[in-house]
Structure 1
Amino acid sequence: MQQSKYMKWFAVAATIGMALILLGGALVTKTDSGMGCGRNWPDCNGSLIPTHITPEILIEFSHRVVTGSVSILIFILSFWSWRKLGHVREVKFLSFLALFFLIAQALIGAAQVLWGQGDFILALHFGISLISFAAVFLLTLIIFEVDQKFNANNVHIGGVLKWNTIGVTIYSYLVVYTGALVRHTNSSLICPDWPLCRNDQMVLPGNFYEWVQMGHRLAAGLIFIWVLIITIHVIKHYKKQPVLYWSWIIALIIVCCQVIAGMGVVLTRLNIVVALLHTLFISLLFGLLCYMIMLISRSSHQAKK
């Protein structure tokens, strides 16, 4: 049954809103605006609405407003999906994930403002938000009935593709964490060159910050190679299953954009637009990989019938 256009537009708004939360959080970190409102939450420097506006206050307060507004959207979308599409196998689980991890990331953000946290804990903040984004993204695809349009319920996924998809999805989360750790440890520009830390020196990283930066580059390079190998396998063996064929081609395009944006972050000395694109691309890649995990679940379910 076709879903109402209102539900579809609402789902699109919630998905875009979650993307804005991810980008807003990255912007807060990249501009060192986390303490723009001081050690105050949910108020800002003692006021519900700040009266003295600085760039840091504007960025931090705007991020809080967007997070609060989108939280309401996602709560409504989750309840609406549960009521109207609860018969679809994944909907209730995705609705729960979207709400649970959205609340979790908000609480971690509040805890950082009120008490402060270590870099390794803060790096989890983006990853937690990313799970909520992926859940909302998948709900949106279900609402738009993408599976029916691509006959996704009848996909047949072999063991090689199944385990590589699961593996690269889990690994992508590690890449996300290392990228967040780069930001939170202020290691973004510790290595002035690319692809090596210093292209004129073939040496190992010399300190913790260089290890964080080069560890992330290595992790990003490996995910590019892994996605490339999987895509070649899919092109060879899954041409007759368009949802898999095109999903992996898109995944390869996104991971290429991710690598280029990562290089651009270094070469442009942390240009904010390039840095936010870097965040956007990994978010889209993770969402797409989660969609393919859902296809694997459906394939396994169909095989048991």
Structure 2
Amino acid sequence: MKRGLKGLSVIVTLAMLLILLGGALVTKTGSGDGCGDSWPLCNGELIPSNITFELVIELSHRLVSGASGILVLLLCVWAWIALGHIREVRPLAFISFFFLVLQALIGAAAVMWGQSDAVLALHFGISLISFASVLLLTLIIFEVDKKFDADSVVIGSTMKKHIYGSILYTYVVVYTGALVRHKEASLACPDIPFCSNAAGWLPGDINQWIQMGHRTAATLIFVWILIAFIHAFKHYRDQKNIYYSWLIALVLVTMQAISGMLVVVTRLNLGLALAHALIISLLFGVLSYLTLLATRSKRTK
């Protein structure tokens, strides 16, 4: 039974990543209207007759999301029954499924009635919460036989502030990035690092403000994670899960910054843009794991 639950949890975690990338692909290819304004049918048909590139992208995303929803529900029920005695399992099971359903409903509402760019930008962030919850649920499932041991950590108040603050701020950065995509402001400032075409080096219109706001927010999260890693290097090298989590976070945030710049330089290369979405998802997952550790730490250093 444990082996089956572990296998399912890994499959569901990967499926949630596919949902995140699929949603990013839909946005970046402009395929949101690939099935017209009908949902869950495609152009009012169960089997579409007029196949287009946008339709294939949108329909594939819907099918993956639907299949993943069934798998997430199965994982949540199974984990609830088998491991419900563990403190975090039931809340994470509920959050995983609830936010997956919520992102599906927002997506359906956007198809049928349309939504503002500000609301659509929430879609990726909501999916990210569902992914992170499934990831933590997977780690807890493996933790049962001590492959992941989150109870042995001792975290001080300074480190806890870094953990809680950075994950909340990273979510804000994610939202600003999603807003850039939905406002089609990715090339509003085609130069790096500033809007050199703007008077006085300041953004000249709303799209440039959105783009530069995201760049500024992304720079600050890089600095924050670097500071947190230095703190971990000085005080937590004996606690490998803390130290290596921050090291991985630093590598990921560096890759995120580089991929973001390359997206602009290459004028929205699709592969780089999807890599950008993947890296921020993995970074949020690592910070979520650190948050789990922080909530379990009873003592301080």
TM range (shorter): over 0.9
1:213 aligned partner, one-letter code? Q
Deviations 1:61-110 (A, max 9, x none): 00000000000000000001001111111000000000100000000000
- Give distance in 2, aligned partners of 1:199 and 1:249: 37
2:104 aligned partner, one-letter code? A
Residues 105-124 of structure 1 mapped to structure 2, 5 A cutoff:
105-124=103-122
Q: For 1:95, which of 93, 96, 121 is the aligned residue? A: 93
Q: For 1:29, which of 15, 21, 27 is the aligned residue? A: 27
Counterpart in the other structure of 2:3: 5
Kindly indicate whether the alpha-carbon contact (under 8 Å) linking 1:17 and 1:70 is maintained by their aligned counterparts in 2: yes
Counterpart in the other structure of 1:64: 62
SS at match of 1:60: helix
Counterpart in the other structure of 1:276: 274
Q: For 2:50, which of 28, 32, 52 is the aligned residue? A: 52
Kindly indicate whether the alpha-carbon contact (under 8 Å) linking 2:121 and 2:179 is maintained by their aligned counterparts in 1: yes
Kindly indicate whether the alpha-carbon contact (under 8 Å) linking 1:147 and 1:153 is maintained by their aligned counterparts in 2: no
Gapped regions of structure 1 (runs ≥ 5) = none
Counterpart in the other structure of 1:189: 187
Counterpart in the other structure of 1:174: 172
Counterpart in the other structure of 2:216: 218
Counterpart in the other structure of 2:250: 252
2:192 aligned partner, one-letter code? W
In the TM superposition, residue 37 of structure 1 has moved relative to its aligned partner by 0.4
Residues 232-243 of structure 1 mapped to structure 2, 5 A cutoff:
232-243=230-241
Cα RMSD of the aligned pairs, angstroms, is: 1.6
TM-score of the pair, normalised by structure 2: 0.97
| Residues 259/172 of structure 1: CA separation in 2 closer, same or farther (3 Å cut) | same
In the TM superposition, residue 196 of structure 1 has moved relative to its aligned partner by 1.3
Deviations 1:209-264 (A, max 9, x none): 00000100000000000000000000000111111011100010010110011011
| Residues 205/80 of structure 1: CA separation in 2 closer, same or farther (3 Å cut) | same
- Give distance in 2, aligned partners of 1:133 and 1:183: 20
Counterpart in the other structure of 2:202: 204
In the TM superposition, residue 151 of structure 1 has moved relative to its aligned partner by 3.8
SS at match of 1:173: helix
Report how many aligned residue pairs link the two structures.
300
In the TM superposition, residue 8 of structure 1 has moved relative to its aligned partner by 1.4
In the TM superposition, residue 201 of structure 1 has moved relative to its aligned partner by 6.9
In the TM superposition, residue 181 of structure 1 has moved relative to its aligned partner by 0.1
- Give distance in 2, aligned partners of 1:281 and 1:122: 20
- Give distance in 2, aligned partners of 1:245 and 1:234: 5
Counterpart in the other structure of 1:18: 16
SS at match of 2:151: helix
Counterpart in the other structure of 2:146: 148
- Give distance in 1, aligned partners of 2:118 and 2:198: 31
- Give distance in 2, aligned partners of 1:234 and 1:181: 32
- Give distance in 2, aligned partners of 1:78 and 1:201: 54
Calculate percent identity across the aligned residue pairs: 58
In the TM superposition, residue 144 of structure 1 has moved relative to its aligned partner by 1.6
2:142 aligned partner, one-letter code? F
Counterpart in the other structure of 1:86: 84
